[in-house]
Amino acid sequence: MRRFFAPLMMPPNGNIDVWLVMGFGLGVVLFFRGLRVFRKSLVVADTPIIPVRSVAMGLTQVHGHAGGDTPFPSPVSGTACYAFRVKIERYAGRNGWKHHRTDQNGRRFYLTDESGRIHVEPREAEFDVPLNCRRQIGGPVMGFSLMNLFRPLGADASDGSDLSVNAKTEDELLEYAGVDYGSTDAFRFTEYCIKPDHEYDVLGTCVENPRPEDEYDRNLITKGTHDSTFLISSKSEEELKQGMGWRSTMMVIGGAGLAVFCAALFMARHGLL
């Protein structure tokens, strides 16, 4: 084993050991996230899409067009939407982009198919939709990130050139990020939206609507208490299953391989192998 790692062996160095420990931790995180994605793919495969009028209480999956009374502007691009998720990252110099905070909110909308319509409460949903907008404040060029390898494919990023009149200014974005106007740090805002008149698959728990608008508005899809799976996707059922299968495989294999490699090299460097 030591002969295998001989080309990589160096005198003891605290910095290298720190990177190996961090690599091991990242591998473990990727491995278990991959298992979660794999479990979710099994739930998608075992829950067929049914017409809205046939929805029963419990875990269900429906497909239809999003609609509702009044959409609202998203917080970064000003896009008309029913729900949004914004990931805010802060540039940390040599350490690259670091997660600052995530903001997600929305209001109820209808999902409509040929058989009827049903309310969806999107505020706690996971989104698998194309990237709507990415805006950056500051100068650093977006660099490579290992985690980007495991993000869903097919997101058409926007450079912000098509922002609406409701889009925030740079000062407003800094306030939205929760920092002072005078901050010189770079920030990156990545926004996803659920938009009117777009088609979505919704996988979640059907419950009794506590605020029905009429006698036909009895059901609501939301995040369940016993089964927390709640996903809104712009992909077809087959695309969703294939994408999750690929992601889970890459994350499990890549995470396990990274963790084993870093642990073995660390042990070899300290004479434990």
Q: What is the pLDDT of residue 77?
A: 93
Share of the chain above pLDDT 90, in %: 38
Query: Nearest 5°: CA angle at 46, between 45 and 49?
Result: 80
Give pLDDT, residue 104.
96
Range of the domain at 264: 6-269
Quick: pLDDT tens for 42-82.
777 777 889 998 898 999 999 999 998 889 999 999 999 99
- Range scoring the smallest mean pLDDT among 171-175, 185-189, 238-242: 238-242
Question: Number of structural domains, the chain?
Answer: 1
Spatial separation of the C-alpha atoms in residues 197 and 237, rounded to whole Å: 19
For residue 28, tell me if it sits in a domain.
yes
Average pLDDT over residues 206-221: 87
Across 214-228, average pLDDT? 87
Tell me the pLDDT tens digit for each residue of 115-173.
Answer: 999 999 999 999 999 999 999 987 655 544 444 444 443 333 444 445 665 688 888 89
C-alpha separations of 67 from 95, 107, 120, 245 in Å? 42, 11, 10, 30
CA angle 6, 255, 129 (to 5 degrees): 145
Q: DSSP string of 198-234?
A: -EEEEEEEEEE-SS-SSTT--EEEE--SS----EEES
Least confident span in 11-25, 116-130, 225-239: 11-25
* Distance separating alpha carbons of residues 263 and 207, to the nearest angstrom: 47
pLDDT at position 214, please? 80
Is residue 1 in some structural domain?
Answer: no
114: nearest Cα among 72, 64, 173, 155: 64
Q: What is the pLDDT of the chain when averaged over all its residues?
A: 81
- Both tokens of 47, joined, read 């829950």
pLDDT, position 118? 94
- Note the pLDDT of residue 157: 40
Q: What is the mean pLDDT of residues 261-273?
A: 79
Q: Is residue 116 part of a domain?
A: yes
Q: Which of 71, 190, 188, 76 is nearest to 127 (CA)?
A: 190
Does residue 83 come out as left (phi exceeding 0), alpha (psi in the -120 to 50 range) or beta? beta
Asked if residues 82 and 107 have their Cβ atoms less than 8 Å apart, the reply is yes
Q: Is residue 117 part of a domain?
A: yes
In which band, very low, low, confident or very high, does the pLDDT at 13 lie, cut at 50, 70 and 90? low
CA distances for 208 relative to 64, 120, 202, angstroms: 20, 12, 17
Predicted pLDDT of residue 146: 47
Instruction: Assess if residue 264 is contained within a domain.
Output: yes
Euclidean distance between CA atoms 221 and 62, whole angstroms? 10
Residue 28 pLDDT exceeds 60: yes
Average pLDDT over residues 229-255: 81
Residue 181, Cβ density class (10 Å: 0-12 exposed, 13-18 middle, ≥19 buried): exposed
Please give the Cα distance from 204 to 85 (Å, whole number): 18
